Structure 1
Amino acid sequence: MRSTAYERDDVTAWDVARPARTGRAAGVSMAGFGVRSLAGVGLRMVPHPAVMLAVEFGDGTPFVDDAAGRQHRGSLVAGLGVGFGGAVRVRGENVECVQVRLSPTVARAILGVCPAELESVVVTLEDLWGREASRIREQLGDATSWTDRFVLIDAVLARRREAASPVDPEVAWAWHRIAVSRGLVRIDHLAAEVGWSRKRLWSRFHSQIGLPPKRAAKLVRFDHAAHRLVAGEGAARVAADSGYADQSHLHRDVMTFTGVTPSTLAGEPWLAVDDTAWPSRRSDLRRQLSTT
């Protein structure tokens, strides 16, 4: 399925494809993107509580300018928190890619690297997978449909996950509690729930997920608030419903994560495209808003 997800003067169009069914690898979601132009300074990358994998193919090449002033090109992996402060930009023309969002509980197994090494950084897929990254790119280019590309990527991810050890069940449980609470669970309560000391939870969680528990919770809370702003909710209501002390607290958090105000964030195409690329998120959000 293809549809135009977003259009404006400096982003000509996003053409988005979605898989028809859930893949074999749990904790994984994907979408296909064709972007004709990301002109000017590029698209601001907004921090997200998932590890992002973008496998490009075709004639165009995406470029990512990171917070340290480095430029990355080709297929990329972005760790939790990438885009913090609004300093990471994505550019390119005629870009085609399969973008994958990995739950941090499966990212280590699939990527083959400790998530803590990816904290708030961008690396090339070749740095992690070597020649396999080039082979996958060629296979994606040879595929004649988005369905075939999704099947290909799903098989690769499922195989890699099955061949590696999962995170500790206590760590997986702690991440699940943070996610379902939208970042509002108390970290000391998490430690008590899994029977660990706070120090042990912090150490294991950080090494296996990629962020300390408290920072992970703040990222999840921000992400929930950001998508409510994009859905058209007022900042005051979003702040009250998302666990912020007041609207000023929300304003400061959004500025810290993105470098822009809540009103500007609400129009960011990086978030607006979620409505088409990741419809389950927005469907859940709409159901929630309809009952409040």
Structure 2
Amino acid sequence: MPVAASWDWARVEVAVPGAGVRLPGVAMAGFRQRVASAAELAMVAHPSVTVLVDLSDDGAVVFESGGRRVRGSAVIGLLPGQVRAAGPGTGDCLQVRLEPAVAAAVLGGAAELSGSVVPLEEVWGHDAARLRERLRAASSWQARFVVVAELLARRLEAGPAVDAEVGHVWGRLLRSRGRLRVDGLAQEVGWSRQRLWSRFRAQVGLSPKRAARLVRFDRAARLLAAGRPPAGVAAHAGYVDQSHLHREVRTFTGLTPAEVAAAPWLGIDEVAWPATP
């Protein structure tokens, strides 16, 4: 989810796919910025692997995390730390969010990308450049979404799959908004806690407990942005108390709950990635 640093969201056009081009475990959105001045934003942890296809004229968007700079299209793994993006303030960008089980197939793995930001070309090779050119030549955002959906569907069919048990646990964490115990999930899939921990971490890149914390934080951030008081958010999102919420928000964003609630980025986030209340 983006945190605006110097970004005029009122001048950003957002496009989302029609129902006919949606895939399970995949969310897409298109962003068009037409302000002719430099823009900068920060991105914080989200429970998905993110693909950003830079469609600006010269591929001028730069992503930076942990001292590494990536220019142009990029893949952001789970929990990369704070990612800063800067660009010329004009141009289009298509963003794809992939659940880890899907990312494992379409990107060749999710665990290997955890904690990192890498150029899309390192992951997809020449296909990345071909995709960018096809998207730039497309006549509309919906046409672009169709191009991406077709590519992802082909890669999903041909790519490696995570264990069904791992996929089940991830789905349960999402549906429960991170409020299930790992021991109970291990029993559901017939694995020992140790085996679930090992296989989940190897294929997703996070431990089940860390994944649950990430999912729970994402829910709390949305509630804070919706104007809920921190004490109520803590209770609703499954935190022990308000201090627990404060610590987790600080861990994932470097901000306080009040700063998260006041930040403008979740306003655009809700338009591009609407969630069930």
TM-score, reference length from structure 1: 0.87
Of residues 33, 56, 59 in structure 1, which corresponds to 2:57?
59
1:62–1:91 contact (8 Å) kept in structure 2: yes
Q: Distance in 1 between matches of 2:173 and 2:210?
A: 11
Partner of 1:221: 216
Q: Distance in 1 between matches of 2:16 and 2:244?
A: 36
* Residue correspondences, number: 271
Provide closer, same or farther for how the CA distance between residues 9 and 211 of structure 1 changes in structure 2, counting only shifts above 3 A.
Answer: closer
Q: Distance in 2 between matches of 1:9 and 1:150?
A: 28
| Aligned-partner SS, 2:132 | helix
Q: How does 1:1-292 map to 2 (within 5 A)?
A: 10-12=6-8, 13-23=11-21, 25-36=23-34, 42-59=40-57, 61-66=60-65, 68-82=66-80, 84=81, 87-92=82-87, 93-112=89-108, 114-279=109-274, 281=275, 284-285=276-277
Note the C-alpha offset of 1:9.
9.1
What residue ranges of structure 1 are gaps of 5+ in the alignment? Answer: 1-5, 286-292
Note the C-alpha offset of 1:103.
0.9
| Aligned-partner SS, 1:54 | strand
Note the C-alpha offset of 1:38.
10
1:14–1:34 contact (8 Å) kept in structure 2: yes
1:125–1:133 contact (8 Å) kept in structure 2: yes
1:11–1:38 contact (8 Å) kept in structure 2: no
| Aligned-partner SS, 2:21 | coil
Note the C-alpha offset of 1:179.
1.0
Partner of 1:3: none
Q: Distance in 1 between matches of 2:146 and 2:172?
A: 31
2:51–2:76 contact (8 Å) kept in structure 1: yes
Provide closer, same or farther for how the CA distance between residues 165 and 215 of structure 1 changes in structure 2, counting only shifts above 3 A.
Answer: same
Note the C-alpha offset of 1:52.
0.6
Provide closer, same or farther for how the CA distance between residues 9 and 43 of structure 1 changes in structure 2, counting only shifts above 3 A.
Answer: closer
| Aligned-partner SS, 1:58 | coil
Provide closer, same or farther for how the CA distance between residues 207 and 38 of structure 1 changes in structure 2, counting only shifts above 3 A.
Answer: farther
